[in-house]
Amino acid sequence: MEIKKVGVMGCGSMGLGVAQVCAQAGIPTVAVKATPGSTDKIRAGLEKSLGKMVERGKMTADHRDSTLGLLQLTNREEDVADCDLIVESIIEDLETKKALFQRLEGIVSPQALLTTNTSTLSVTAMMAVCKHRVRVAGLHFFNPAPVMKLVEIIYGFETSDEVIDTLNVFCKKVGKDPVIVQDTTGFIVNRLLTPYMLSAIRLLEMGTGTIGDIDHAMKSGAGHPMGPFELADYIGLDVVEAMTLNIYQDMHQPHVSSPHTLTRLVQLGYLGRKTGKGFYDYSVKPPMPNPALQHPVA
């Protein structure tokens, strides 16, 4: 099966990024805004982002114009009816995603592939509410989707080999580097990455090192481009906590439970870069460690 048209459910940073990737690769794409309201602001933001790419010489003006021409923004789920592939990228809540999959089965053709961009939730749980289960799979892009090369293609319990092969070809067509994964909570990257960030928080709580020193050690000593606290702030601490909860419910091991400091920051609304403060304070330049966390109490 050839993917000739893509529908993306959700126009947050991840959903819009996936839609941009598809349109840049020359594939007509429909992006559906999952919340009420106009799509004008989203399109204006995309136009501005692509304009900056043109200014920096990373994209030609013609390519920008063709990308924008191939990308339709809408509020209507029905507008994905003729798409060959759906990529769900809405809120990371299993029941909400399952309800969307049930609605999509009444909209798209039985041959259309239904995929989820979830980072830790069960693909099989979403598949379970569908009538045509063999065409359901995971397609986990990484943020920011236009930049990050990796895509995890996830087998649900009844996903067919043919669907995985089709998704593998599609990912390469849009310039991504796919890996095929079984439906294990967190898949490969987040199954390894989440405990790493949690361990760094526990080292902070134990007084082993400061935020800055732990980040510096992992960048300088392990060659990581970002330290664990910088990474957590970049992902969003609410997202990190949600991934932690999902993995803990699967493993029930203390090392993957949410540390006190992470829970408190999320409760306070300090979610990282997107709110201006998390482990770091982004209201100052360069960002400095959050003063409240210099001597955290576990």
pLDDT tens digit sequence for 204-222:
999 999 999 999 999 999 9
Q: Which domain holds residue 226?
A: 189-285
Same domain assignment for residues 20 and 161: yes
CA distance 39 to 50: 17
Q: Is residue 238 part of a domain?
A: yes
In the predicted model, what is the mean pLDDT of residues 229-252?
Answer: 94
CATH number of the domain to which 250 belongs = 1.10.1040.10
In a domain, 296, yes or no: no
pLDDT tens digits, one per residue of 19-28: 999 999 999 9
Distance CA 81, CA 183 (A): 27
Question: Are 227 and 157 in a shared domain?
Answer: no
Considering only the C-alpha atoms of the chain, give the largest distance between any 2 of them, rounded to a whole number of Å. Answer: 57
Judging by DSSP bridges, how do beta strands 136-141 and 113-116 pair with one another?
A: parallel
Q: Which residues are annotated as catalytic?
A: 119, 140, 152, 190
| CA within 13 Å, CB half, 228 | 25
Domain shared by 174 and 219, yes or no:
no
229 with 124, same domain: the answer is no
Q: Are residues 127 and 160 in the same domain?
A: yes
Looking at the structure, tell me whether residues 195 and 162 fall in a common domain. no
Percent of the chain with pLDDT over 70: 99
Q: Cβ(115)–Cβ(137) under 8 Å?
A: yes
Q: Is the pLDDT reported for residue 295 higher than 80?
A: no
118/241 same-domain check: no
Residues 164-176 have pLDDT tens digits of 999 999 999 999 9
Tally Cβ neighbours within 10 Å of residue 216.
13
Q: Do residues 212 and 163 share a domain?
A: no
**What's the structural domain count of the chain?**
2
Give one word for 151, left, alpha or beta, with left for phi > 0 and alpha for psi -120 to 50.
beta
Task: Please compute the mean of the pLDDT values over residues 156-171 and round it to a whole number.
Answer: 98
